[in-house]
């Protein structure tokens, strides 16, 4: 099961809510977008997605909710920030897991794999966002709306995929479909690998 929360100041999406962009004020003529490379490091509350750093139950630090059918909840965020400086659009994307908003009640390897699948899906859409931003042709008159549209479209696709994952697997209870989904997620991670280097 998955939940997200809104943050302010950049385009950032936690589940059913999204923030608004905070572009810098300088509007310059069109140049290609440049991806900023500022590595996001793990801290006390967030884990950036990584091939080598998989989730463990120790990462789920929120108090479990006991008045629900869910046995675990994963909170991830997909964020985008950008600015225009010296006629160049630069941007950063982040995909993180929120330790303090995620919880587990029934802590098995099987359920943990389902929760990792939610985080992996968010990463897939971070890569799709990176691809869309790389392909964007900057327009000084419309860039705010353009980038908002790109971001909102990707977030909508991500949420549709997350809901399909939970719905089709019956929140991991359908083991056959769960295995199929994990294979599908792995295939999508491989397919989007060219866009994996975003922060």
Each residue's pLDDT tens digit, 69-117: 899 999 999 999 999 887 789 999 999 999 999 999 999 999 999 999 9
3-class DSSP state of 172: coil
The pair of structure tokens assigned to 41 is 């490091």
Residue 6 confidence class, pLDDT cut points 50, 70, 90: very low
Residue 35 confidence class, pLDDT cut points 50, 70, 90: low
Structural domain boundaries of the chain?
A: 11-194
The answer to whether residues 133 and 80 touch, using CB atoms and an 8 Å cutoff, is: yes
Residue 66 confidence class, pLDDT cut points 50, 70, 90: confident
pLDDT of 33 above 80 = no
Q: Say which residue, 3 or 18, is predicted with more confidence.
A: 3
Residue 2 confidence class, pLDDT cut points 50, 70, 90: low
Residue 172 to residue 22: CA distance in whole angstroms:
37
pTM of the model: 0.83
- Sign for the pseudo-dihedral over CA of 50, 162, 127, 28: negative
């Amino acid at each position: 099961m998955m939940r997200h929360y809104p943050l302010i100041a950049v385009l950032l999406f936690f589940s059913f809510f999204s923030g608004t962009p905070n572009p810098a004020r300088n509007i310059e003529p069109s140049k290609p977008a440049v991806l900023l490379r500022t590595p996001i490091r793990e801290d006390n509350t967030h884990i950036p997605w990584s091939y080598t750093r998989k989730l463990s139950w120790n990462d789920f630090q929120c108090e479990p909710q006991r008045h629900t059918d869910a046995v675990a909840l994963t909170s991830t965020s997909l964020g985008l920030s950008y600015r225009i400086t010296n006629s160049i659009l630069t941007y950063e994307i982040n995909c993180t897991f929120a330790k303090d908003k995620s919880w587990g009640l029934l802590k098995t390897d099987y359920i943990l794999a389902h929760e990792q699948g939610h985080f992996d899906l968010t990463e897939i859409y971070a890569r799709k966002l990176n691809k869309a931003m790389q392909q964007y042709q900057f327009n000084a008159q419309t860039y705010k709306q353009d980038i908002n549209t790109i971001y909102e479209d990707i977030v909508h696709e991500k949420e549709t995929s997350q809901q399909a994952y939970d719905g089709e697997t019956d929140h991991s209870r359908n083991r056959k479909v769960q295995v199929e989904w994990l294979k599908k997620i792995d295939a999508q991670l491989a397919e989007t690998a060219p866009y994996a280097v975003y922060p």
